[in-house]
Amino acid sequence: MNFFRRLLFTDVTPLVKLAKTKNIEESDLLALPQELNPQHIKVDMQEISWKSPRALLFSLIRALRDFTRPAYIWYLASSVLALLSPVFVNRFIGTISAGVTAETLPTALIYGVALGLCGFLSGLCMQHYFFNSLKAYQVTTNILNERLFKHSLKLSQKSRQKNQVGDIVNHMSSDSDNVSDFPMVFGDLISASFLIIGVVAMLFYYIGWSALAALAVLFILAPLTNYVAKKFTHLDEEMMEHRDRRVTLMTQAMNAIRVVKYFAWEKSVAKEVTEVREKELTSRRRLAKAEVVSSLGYLAVSTLVLFVALAVHAWRGEKLDAAVIFTCISLFGLLEGPFGDLSRLISRATNAKVGARRILDYLNEDEVEISTEERTDGAAVGLQMQHFSLRHDGAVSDVLHDVNVHVPAGSSLAIVGPVGAGKSSLLMSLLGEVAPREGSLQFVPEMPGRPRMAYVPQEAYIVNTSLLENLQFGEEVSKEELRRALHNSCLSRDLKEWSGGLRTEIGEKGVNLSGGQKQRVALARAFLRKPQIVLLDDPLSAVDADTENLLCERLIFGAWKDVTRIVVTHRLEHLAQFDQVIYIQHGRVQGQGTFSELVKTCAPFAEFYKEHGKTQGEGHEVRPAETAQEAASINTELEAKTTRVTEDEDREVGAVKGSVYWDYISSLGGDGKFTKPLILATLLLGATAATLLPLAQKAWLSYYSGHQTEWVALTAIGIYGLIGVLVLVGSLLNHLFWLDRGIRAGKNMHDKMLKSVLSSPVRFFDSTPVGRIIQRFSRDVESVDVYLQWSFDSAVHCALQVIVSIVLILGLMPLMVFVIAPVMALYYVLQRDYRRPAREVKRFDSVARSPRYAHFKESLQGLVVIRSFNKGPWFMQNFYAKLSHSNRMFYSHVMINRWFSSRIPLVGGLISMATAVGVSLSAYYGVMDAGTAGLVTLYSLSFWGFLNWGVRIFADIESRMTSIERLKFFSNLPGEVSVLKPLPEPLRPTWPEFGEISVEGLKVRYASHLPQVLKGITFKVEAGSRVGIIGRTGSGKSTFFQSLFRFIEAEEGSISIDGVNTASVPLEKLRRSLAIIPQDPTLFMGTIRNNLDRYNEYSDDEVMGALKHASMWDYVQSLPDGMNSAVSEGGLNLSQGQRQLLCLARALLTKARVIVMDEATASVDVQTDALLQKVIRTSFAGVTMLIIAHRLGTIADCDQIVEISAGEVKSIRRPTEFSQEEIEESLV
């Protein structure tokens, strides 16, 4: 029983039965076998060679022998059984030709039953080949994904900047899938070779030396295979290059969607993506045409070989009776599959080779050698740098030169200097991220392992998970430690405002946190790390002055007083508290010592600090610490209900709706009234012709075999060849038409989705992970581009073949209806029971992939933090969990397919046996000749194959239609409304001329079921004035600015600029009339110039002027390519301050009448800050400025200050009318 249970995959039966009673859930699916668990890979990794693509592909097959060996044995068994079918065809038709008598009837019946058994057993063996091959696929995916993730965790900064996130994710998705497919491709090639050899050998047996002519044709056409393989490699690489580029463009646009929206760059992004998409589709069209032509070329080889064999046999004067003809047809029928699929196999093999080369190229990128062994003692650790010099690859000068620094254990060191001086590079050196050109770095005392380190970058690294997990970061911490961390990082009050407490989900990149909150979460995480050395890169730039004082008191000079602290900062108020200060300029240490010593002995620092005094103002009193009642209760916050920001991915249940199919069918054609029906009719007629012409070809030979005296043999064979030409021409036109329509469908659906996504409100992006969006634009679009057109083509072909077979059998043997009807009823029940769970599991499988890629992408964005916290193993474990979940979905999908496909050969076998019995009896009673018997027998033998393939292809269509479901959902997202309240007359072309802003009774809420955030605020901003907007975190400042840009529409009230309600202004016009300098600087992959001028609207002189005003021209001019110098993804090849200065230049270039600044100079040094404040006052003279302030210096010279509290305007006063305490309280 155990044998038959495994033979027929009956472990799946309970799931199939359950699916009859309800919509199955993830918990109902099959458990993942241990051998497929990515954490327990039972493969000798030493056997896998990573030297070359070819070595990698074949070493994987060897290493996976526990799966590939049984797979290939099952496949060979299936091939042997398939080769036996022509033997029994010859005997069966020979018996019929000789005349069926009472004595020979049992013999005919035995041969007929044997035919059915061969088909059944061959099909069953094939399912076990698929089962073992797909297990090999899954294990290979595990191996590659693990290797890619582990390598990525060690990727050097240089390599990270060189490789875009989208490209790296593609290595884990598309490239990994293609390589994992190779064991199955290799099995198909082995079987094809075995079948070709077997067929040629059997031809020698049946038609003798005439088979030599067929063999000669095969050898002559063999070089075609090599040519096609090379052609496919080139075209496939070209297409994948364009696809990678498109996905990368989408990834960076989605990561920077707020900047895209602020500057109304949606059209620019769409144009850029569409241009690359056109190149991708051009390559795809060329590749697909090559596949079609080569596929038909191989089919032509099959037809030509049979034609030559029969023609030579006839020319030699040998007899062409029904037994010989249909045996040859049966033998060459076995070659139709291998030859027909050969182009696809070559394409898949090419994809595997290309994927392997791309993966190996990535795995050969430089890694950083950072020890993961940490010191076991908790004593403080100092460090010593001697003659330390650092130079980036390709640079002509040092980033750091001859740095000598000694930091005693438990002391504090502040690093200050201008933007681009090398401060962050010094921290990267201390972290081990970059190696020195010369000199040394030692931690003292010297001990095995590296110190326990914590690093907080300028841009806080936040993970899309709960606040608690962001804080713990894989560490085991007590409730008391959590309480202290929240208190020391000034998060206690914030925590009380979050309904989910510590269980609150933090959105992707901390989208639901302010800049200051993100920074404080990162500081709390660093505290819980219990570090021996703390490295902070300007951690206080994003927080208000009062919070800065508290963080210094409680954390930097409080809880960490015995920890070695190295702090890069642009905030100079607390320098006197540091044990040492070093001043860096142009990569050199200009001064070193205590603060008082530097002021006296280092003139450049003294000047630097003097500028600070002009811009920053005096220090502030420290706010009293929270009372016991105000401090958060950890027990309460831990027990709070989880608050979700990220929405779960939508998943349809039940059968795919007809509207989804119609959406795809509609996308095949144009927009004309009769265009779609005409296209559908053409597709159907083409498929019908491609089905009936091969029938005519075989029917002609059937007719000739019974009327040989009436025809010259060579003439009859010539007619057969002529019909074969028509078959090829018909198939070519049919496939090319499907190809053209399919690519058009992919283009239409992609363009519609692109427009929909870019038109969506910001709230959609806040609740939808970028990884999920990118999956729609990568994997789902690929499904439409590459697979659906072939699936629909195959489905129509299979359906017509089944219909033709049934009509042929019933037309010649009407009584067969009593056999076919019940067998087809059984078939209907099987496919109905199969499709219910199959489509749901496929949906689960599709949804389960996104978290894996999202986690990978998120990990790539925080590599330095992950390595500094030594949390690579923790991120690896999280990746294993997501990969295991995805594997379980895929395994269930595979098993359900095998359950069904192992039963379908039985249906086909029964029909073949019944047909053979009917043919034998018909011949016995003299109502059927041998030619007709051969024709019916051939179609009955192929019947089960078409049934099996037909259901699989229909199931594949249904499962792939889930991609259409998701594309449809993303193509019909609620979009932003351009104009809410049309103006009675056209808007003035020069609007806005002055920049006067009037806010009247503005009420705003984020959703209808949520409370109001702005509760009727009213104030006026005079044209050309500078207005500071202050208020505590959560008061409504950011909501007001989002309303100004119409990211959120007003529920009541209005915002008017120069007397025009912004709700009446087209969105693009409104946003391009405003400009913003955000707190988090965002840059795109490209050049410095196109980061400032996406629309190419400004001259080089204008761009140069903006760079000069932003104090970036000297730096840009020093670069080899000037303004055309490359900017890496996210601007990673620039410092935080340089990125902020480019954002300032971008705003200067717009010449907008209204400028919004969100603490825009927090990340620059004091000298640059002073210069920028001057630039802002001069270059933005006469421009209305709205400034979100976290510090007094930023708003000291504002014309007025609007104080917002709890969504209401608390006061509107001049800066001099506020007391020190009032402003400090409002800046929190």
Q: What's the pLDDT tens digit per position in 494-549? A: 888 777 788 888 877 787 787 788 899 999 999 999 999 999 998 887 777 778 88
pLDDT of residue 631: 45
Q: What is the mean pLDDT of residues 911-930?
A: 87
Per DSSP, the residues of 1088-1111 read: HHHHH-TT--S-HHHHHHHHHHTT
Q: Sketch out the chain's domains with CATH numbers.
A: 2-34+46-366+655-971 (1.20.1560.10), 382-462+465-639 (3.40.50.300), 997-1226 (3.40.50.300)
pLDDT of residue 824: 85
Q: CB-hemisphere CA count at 13 Å for 1135? A: 24
Place 618 in a pLDDT band, splitting at 50, 70 and 90: very low
pLDDT of residue 632: 46
Reference 77, options 116, 122, 107; nearest CA is 122
Reference 793, options 921, 930, 691; nearest CA is 691
Whole-number Å distance between alpha carbons of 899 and 833: 11
- Chain position carrying tokens 């269980």: 503
Q: Is the pLDDT of residue 637 over 60?
A: no
- Chain position carrying tokens 């990673």: 1132
Place 1004 in a pLDDT band, splitting at 50, 70 and 90: very high
Q: Name which residue leads in pLDDT, 378 or 476.
A: 476
Could you tell me if 766 and 258 are in contact, meaning their C-beta atoms sit under 8 angstroms apart?
Answer: no
Whole-number Å distance between alpha carbons of 5 and 9: 6
Place 628 in a pLDDT band, splitting at 50, 70 and 90: very low
- 412-416 and 1086-1087 strand pairing: unpaired
Place 231 in a pLDDT band, splitting at 50, 70 and 90: low
pLDDT of residue 654: 56
pLDDT of residue 690: 81
Amino acid at 66: D
Q: Is the pLDDT of residue 555 over 80?
A: yes
Q: For the chain, give the mean pLDDT.
A: 84
Q: CB-hemisphere CA count at 13 Å for 76? A: 11
For 330-349, what is each residue's pLDDT tens digit?
887 787 667 666 767 887 88
Helix (H, G, I), strand (E, B) or coil at 387: strand
Q: What is the mean pLDDT of residues 424-453?
A: 88
pLDDT of residue 361: 94
Q: Is the pLDDT of residue 1022 over 80?
A: yes
pLDDT of residue 1192: 64
pLDDT of residue 229: 57
Q: What is the mean pLDDT of residues 1022-1046?
A: 87
pLDDT of residue 636: 53
For the chain, the straight-line distance linking the first and the last C-alpha, in angstroms and rounded, comes to: 73
pLDDT of residue 899: 92
Whole-number Å distance between alpha carbons of 528 and 669: 60
Could you tell me if 967 and 749 are in contact, meaning their C-beta atoms sit under 8 angstroms apart?
Answer: yes
Helix (H, G, I), strand (E, B) or coil at 632: coil
pLDDT of residue 510: 80
Q: What is the mean pLDDT of residues 1072-1086?
A: 84
Q: 1121: which DSSP letter? A: T
Q: What is the mean pLDDT of residues 227-233?
A: 63
Q: Is the pLDDT of residue 623 over 70?
A: no
Kind and range of the H or E run holding 402: strand 400-407
Per DSSP, the residues of 949-965 read: HHHHHHHHHHHHHHHHH
Whole-number Å distance between alpha carbons of 288 and 282: 10
In this structure, is the dihedral angle defined by the CA atoms of residues 845, 850, 852 and 853, taken in order, positive or negative?
A: positive
Q: What is the mean pLDDT of residues 576-601?
A: 92
Place 629 in a pLDDT band, splitting at 50, 70 and 90: very low
Whole-number Å distance between alpha carbons of 1035 and 1020: 19
Q: Is the pLDDT of residue 759 over 90?
A: yes
